[in-house]
Structure 1
């Protein structure tokens, strides 16, 4: 397969992960990296065998087929739209857009131009989430009734050297960490029908805790805790996401069914230890090693070895461009996912139940035979030994 020629827009904290994923995959060919100040990224571009260019230069380059958008979320609609207008396919970091209207406009533009779009997160491609999906589909817990997910953090300033954007409109938790959870649930249960949410905030000001600006205060202008009910056709899910929990607390997800309980892995990673609890049998861990994207390739912030193959969705899109296959984060999936994010925030703002307008099919499961090319062409963007040293 001829590699898909790629230009990346944005060179922030997440860019090394994508640049590794692109340059290590035989399905992808990195040509250029663009920012507002190309000279500032010249060294990084050279290290990855690419040119440092302006956004306008990248979009005008006829050799580039696919734009990977790594800019902040508030810029995604503009950059994604400009790339489509320039005749490029688009793969974007989440969120693809900040509203249903914007997502629909971009999806319609792509369709009119005969272009494909894709979006992160792609962690549901991972072995743990695929094993959970297949166990559910096989009837391991009977009829699903309700689910829960909880993510509580003291704040993103613990991890990010420039956290201000996460505390402004468009950076709220449902748009940032929230998509990992909502896409996990859509993968399991299908499209969301209705949303109700309440929200609040614990602090009006926070302080940068790492990096060169450590100690710098900044204002909080949005709510930072969202308590949400997502209603699906077969079940409902209680989802709490908060940046006001003083001790990091993670309960990735449990789906309670008529005959058992499905315990999910952390949706921010590809691997994990999902399990089924179906009395009188003891808790049974699900086999994940035979699902693809299972081998640990980095360490998380606690030092635990985890599987993290960010870029699998990008390779899936590249295969769709070259072979005509159907990738898993296409326009329908993107539009619905964006509407769910927006509905969580809008429901809390308006104190109302939001009936969703869009829908989508559940993404196809990963099959070792039919998806052999996807698995083989997706490179690890991390080095396990190096991440252990860094940790």
Structure 2
């Protein structure tokens, strides 16, 4: 580890958050409940946002971005900036001797993400990444059931997310329609991270994509009525081929109205399973086994109980700076998504160059 960086047993993990936009609110609901994590600083290009966050947390200070990254009292930089800035902030934090945990994706493109992972490895630091929803009781109870053989050998999965678009509710939705955004890069990490956690890494993909509108209209906030350009695919569908042989069908859209359920379905040789929405931490896992009594709800058997965004930081401490929401997993997910878009545009199957270990399961864990 870089001199001065947090190491196991050195006390609470002191976190400084960079980027105090909409998503920070969800982290602020979780971080105070984590027994081994302390939020000590906040920074944003809009100073008032950083001050608002700091005012809500005892002992936290509002700083500039440069001040926070250089601050010796910050062990880990929580990077909640827009995707286009993820790698720049992560690299600056690593150069300053900080661990870094970022919102998804790890970077806008794999070349930038690789630079982050290489810099962290060279410095002896950890670069981890959201989504950490896979650490909750929903996905982890499903993982435990699969590992126990409850549905036999998994052979197929379906994962569907349909929404008319985030511009309807987000006051500044521009980045959702710029490179690094779109339904696949925005919501795909939740679904693909869950699928890799449940079924293992992906070796190849086939896909198709469309973008039927070139503009979107902001529906809320001070910019309501403003028209923004669309520079990404807004409906993406295709198949992931897992190393295990399982096939996952994926549909991600900002063009459709709704789907009745955003859950994942896993089908095996001995039964089928409904996994709750991977954008959430909890939810019922249901199974229907061959020659059984129909759909049954499983009691929680894995994952962090009552988890929320930021639970990966507690997992960082609990695993001795080897978090399950690892940079390697995030890089593989980003690589899968890039390969997916390439497959869609080239009209052929694309091999996924990267791989990762299937993350270790999380035992059923109550936050103290």
TM-score w.r.t. the length of structure 2 is 0.91
Contact 2:205 2:239 in 1 (8 A): yes
Q: Partner of 1:146: helix, strand, or coil?
A: strand
Q: CA deviation at 1:108?
A: 1.4
Q: Partner of 1:196: helix, strand, or coil?
A: strand
Q: Confirm whether residue 376 of structure 1 aligns to residue 367 of structure 2.
A: yes
C-alpha deviations, 1:75-105, integer Å up to 9, x for none? Answer: 1011111111111000101011122222222
Partner residue in 2 for 1:382: none
Contact 1:80 1:90 in 2 (8 A): yes
In structure 2, the CA distance between the partners of 1:59 and 1:278, relative to structure 1 (3 Å rule), is same
Q: CA deviation at 1:109?
A: 0.9
In structure 2, the CA distance between the partners of 1:203 and 1:60, relative to structure 1 (3 Å rule), is same
Contact 2:177 2:231 in 1 (8 A): yes
Q: CA deviation at 1:291?
A: 3.3
Partner residue in 2 for 1:187: 197
Partner residue in 1 for 2:270: 259
> Over the residues paired in the alignment, what is the CA RMSD in angstroms?
1.9
Separation in 2 of the partners of 1:293 and 1:283?
Answer: 28
Q: Of the candidates 312, 323, 326, which is equivalent to residue 327 of structure 1?
A: 323
Partner residue in 2 for 1:21: 30
Partner residue in 1 for 2:261: 250
TM-score w.r.t. the length of structure 1 is 0.86
Contact 2:141 2:301 in 1 (8 A): no
Partner residue in 1 for 2:360: 364
Q: Partner of 2:107: helix, strand, or coil?
A: coil
Partner residue in 1 for 2:308: 309
Q: Of the candidates 277, 281, 285, which is equivalent to residue 296 of structure 2?
A: 285
C-alpha deviations, 1:326-370, integer Å up to 9, x for none? Answer: 3202232222122112222222233332211211111111113xx
Structure 1 unaligned regions, length at least 5: 296-307, 378-391
Q: Of the candidates 346, 352, 355, which is equivalent to residue 351 of structure 2?
A: 355
In structure 2, the CA distance between the partners of 1:275 and 1:40, relative to structure 1 (3 Å rule), is closer
Separation in 1 of the partners of 2:353 and 2:336?
Answer: 10
Q: Confirm whether residue 270 of structure 1 aligns to residue 281 of structure 2.
A: yes
Would you identify which runs of 4 or more consecutive aligned residues in structure 1 move more than 4 Å? none
Q: Of the candidates 122, 135, 140, which is equivalent to residue 130 of structure 1?
A: 140
Q: Number of aligned pairs?
A: 357
Q: CA deviation at 1:187?
A: 0.5
Q: Partner of 2:233: helix, strand, or coil?
A: coil
Q: Of the candidates 80, 88, 102, which is equivalent to residue 112 of structure 2?
A: 102
In structure 2, the CA distance between the partners of 1:247 and 1:360, relative to structure 1 (3 Å rule), is closer
Partner residue in 2 for 1:9: 18
Contact 2:240 2:248 in 1 (8 A): yes
Partner residue in 1 for 2:206: 196
